[in-house]
A and B are shown apart, each in its own frame.
Chain A
Amino acid sequence: MAKAASPKNGPSRKATAVSIESHAADVKKVADSAPAAPATSPASPASPPSGGPEAHGAIPVLTPGAHNPYLPYVATVREVIKETHNIMTFRVTLDDEEVWNSFHFEPGQVGQLSLFGAGEATFVINSPPTRMDYLQFSVMRAGEVTAALHGLRAGDKVGVRAPLGNHFPYNDMKGKDIVLIGGGIGMAPIRTLLYYLLDNRKDYGTITLLYGARSPQDMAYSYELPDWLSREDLDCVLTIDREAEGWEHRVGLIPNVLLEMNPSPKNAVAVCCGPPIMIKFTMEALAKLNFAPEQVITTLERRMKCGIGICGRCNIGEKYVCVDGPVFTSAELKALPNEL
């Protein structure tokens, strides 16, 4: 679990030149003009066509210079961290300085990280927008793209389409006690929110973090845990599924440990991310603790390609996880068809 940082990361590294050529649209302008164009402001045509009989003549025309949402920003891997036997973290910066300097995202938003030639996959940006030295993605090896991404080294080029999707409702959470629950790689989005809350600490009540993994060896961000455990403004609880030698923290599945912790639902919000089975039982535990569905927030995972609500595969009923999500309250999920 050593932090295998590359020696050649850091801001001193030369910015690399990237040119975007095009014969089609005004693409150079496109690449320059897109601080947050891809997602935070879902390009809203003046009158979206209804598709109905009156739709004629209302076909949206491309806004000159509008960002091509399929075109990734070329980015450079600055640092690679081997978190666990199957999770690696990549810290990247966008090559176009102008874009990078004005790049903005909200905590919980995701990005499409791509290795040119291998393909794209969706990951949450797990560094907070309050710390813009780099964008951090943690990748669990599970399929072809993630296996290829695991071969990345500092200095390599990747593509980033971000920010995409909605975000944690950090404004609505102000003044409330926050219970963060992360299971396995589901700790990644929780990490973004955790640092965002800590960086705006005075806006929030107590902050509790329950972070669970199968074993100590499966725990990503292990090098940050001592800080989380020692902070006075954070109550951090760690748990693993089964006893392990040298483990000084809790042992037990997240929903059970949560019930033992017995957090009060009064003026509280719980945010829970992890594998589907963990989310299911953690939601049940939160209900037992009298958290109302509106007080419980989670993130959904789906197979995604376009990330902009067009390619079709991430829908649940009429909602698309890539644009209407990935962040949902438990109340919102209950209103959706049962197809999780």
Chain B
Amino acid sequence: MSAAKFIAHTDVPAWLAELAASMRVIAPVTEGGNVLYREFDSATNGVELNRKPTESAKHVLFPRSEALFTFRKEPVPFAPDSLDPATEEDSPAPRMTLTQPEAPKPTVVFGMLCCDAGGVTTFDPVYGGRYQDPYYLQKREATVLIAKACNEPLKTCFCTWVGSDPANKRDADILATDFGNGLYLEALTERAERVLGSKLLQDAPANAEAKAEALHAAAREAIGEVPSLEGIDNTLTTLFDERDFWWSHSAPCLACGICTNLCPTCHCFTITDEKASGAGVRLRSWDTCMAALYTLEASGHNPRGQKAARLRNRVGHKFSYFLKNNNGRISCQGCGRCIKSCPSSVDIRRIVLDAMKKGCAVKEAANG
């Protein structure tokens, strides 16, 4: 792994432009009132590193909608004889051709949040577990993640509660720390090499490591007290049938799905076909478990027809089911977007803390 590097803020656009010559460069940019991860445009150079992105970066590896393959039915040449039933056996058989999409381009995501990088590593066991998902894994292999350590957490941030950190070195390929005049770049994986060859990068200043550590500690401190979520997985299992608990927490929910849309770890999708005159495409697109249609079966049966059941599943998945399948890792990254953007102030922190409190009470009642 290469030594740590430093790049002046004024050189960042030139560096990204350099990378953009051979890679797809994704960076946070201001668009209207939002900060979105978009393809870097060297004409505008508008990288936004001070405000937190409104959306997660998951769409880089898991597009909102992507083609799994296209299909085309080859027309059977018209032959008047084939209209005669006697010769039907000999008529040319139709063909169906399936074509898979092109391999993804080499990509770099610059300036993503550590919680967004954490989202990616929660995707890894999902898309590369029992079955290998080629669409995700090819993009993953082709993509370098440059995370930027969080200097000023928001009031909705709680990454330290869920086993992450505003400057975690677990998830990205490079960790960038903002020194005010530029970015201190620490390579974390072999993949980092792909983007650290530029002459614009300087050697890191002598005291950089300690300086970065101090900034990281300050951000950690700013998030404040970290409540224990020890045993949250089993606690939620205990509360599964507590109807009142789930009804009261889900009462304000409008089932709009913005929580799942902005979440860096929500990975659910649907598969649909689109077709016009014999040719078409099979698409996979983001879906949301907060919608009743998500689990509605053709028979009319719906195992999660009520929003209480859907909220229970979303919280349960992140704080219980995922843990059981992934060595105790909480899939929620604590980015707080679902809290910040919820139109009716559903707060996943409140649900989880209430569950911890309520779970203790239920267990005590059961024990005696």
Contact = CB atoms under 8 A, between A and B. Distances in A.
Interface stretch (A66-74, A103-111, A262-270, A281-289): A66-74
Contact of A306 (B103, B269, B301, B329): B269
A303 B329 contact: no
B317 A22 contact: no
A121 B298 CA distance: 10
Interface in B123-165: 124-135, 137-138, 140-141
B130 A55 contact: no
B327 A52 contact: yes
Interface in A53-106: 53, 55-57, 59-63, 66, 68-72, 74, 76
A302 B141 contact: no
Given A52-B329, A310-B131, A17 B93 contact: yes
Nearest to B276: A117
A51 interface: yes
A123 to B, nearest CB: 11
B198 interface: no
Nearest to B268: A312
Nearest to A118: B273
Interface stretch (A211-219, A225-233, A237-245, A315-323): A315-323
B103 to A, nearest CB: 4
Nearest to B309: A339
A59 B132 contact: no
Interface residues of A, number: 77
Contacts of B97: 18-21
A57 B189 contact: yes
Contacts, number: 234
Contacts of A56: 121, 170, 188-189
Contacts of A45: 128-129, 132
Contact of B267 (A49, A71, A310): A310
B268 A114 contact: no
Contacts of A27: 100
A16 interface: yes
Interface in A1-47: 8, 12-25, 27, 42-45
B169 to A, nearest CB: 9
A214 B293 CA distance: 28
Contacts of A68: 100, 134
B129 A309 contact: yes
Nearest to B72: A116
Given A318-B324, A338-B240, A74 B98 contact: yes
B268 A71 contact: no
Interface residues of B, number: 78
Residue of A18, A56, A76, A145 with highest tally of chain B CB at under 10 A: A56
A313 interface: yes
A298 B320 CA distance: 26
B273 A311 contact: no
B296 A18 contact: no
B184 to A, nearest CB: 20
B94 A51 contact: no
A76 B95 CA distance: 10
Contact of A51 (B274, B289, B301, B326): B326
Given A24-B100, A49-B125, A50-B329, A312 B141 contact: no
Given A16-B93, A69-B131, A311-B268, A62 B126 contact: no
B121 A21 contact: no
Given A18-B97, A56-B188, A24 B121 contact: no
Interface in B316-331: 316-317, 320-322, 324-329
A276 interface: yes
A138 B324 CA distance: 36
A116 B73 contact: yes
Contacts of B140: 59
Contacts of A24: 100-103, 134, 138
B271 A311 contact: yes
B225 interface: no
B269 A311 contact: yes
B364 interface: no
B45 interface: no
Given A22-B99, A52-B329, A117 B132 contact: no
Contacts of A23: 100-103
Contacts of B100: 20-25, 27, 68, 71
A63 B132 contact: yes
B20 to A, nearest CB: 23
Nearest to A158: B96
A92 B190 CA distance: 48
A292 B10 CA distance: 73
Residue of A44, A52, A69, A308 with highest tally of chain B CB at under 10 A: A52
Nearest to A319: B321
Contacts of A302: 295, 297, 303
A315 B131 contact: no
Contacts of B322: 318
B88 interface: yes
A158 to B, nearest CB: 9
Interface of A: 8, 12-25, 27, 42-45, 48-53, 55-57, 59-63, 66, 68-72, 74, 76, 114, 116-121, 142-143, 145-146, 155, 157, 275-276, 301-303, 305-306, 308-313, 315-318, 323, 337-340
State the 10 A-B residue pairs at the shortest beta-carbon distance, nearest first.
A117-B275, A143-B298, A142-B298, A312-B268, A60-B128, A16-B93, A318-B321, A308-B131, A42-B130, A22-B100
Given A66-B132, A142-B298, A302-B303, 6 more contacts: A12-B89, A16-B93, A18-B95, A51-B124, A59-B137, A323-B130
20 contacts: A17-B95, A18-B98, A21-B97, A23-B101, A23-B103, A27-B100, A48-B125, A49-B128, A52-B326, A59-B124, A60-B128, A71-B100, A114-B273, A117-B274, A275-B299, A311-B268, A312-B317, A313-B268, A313-B295, A315-B321
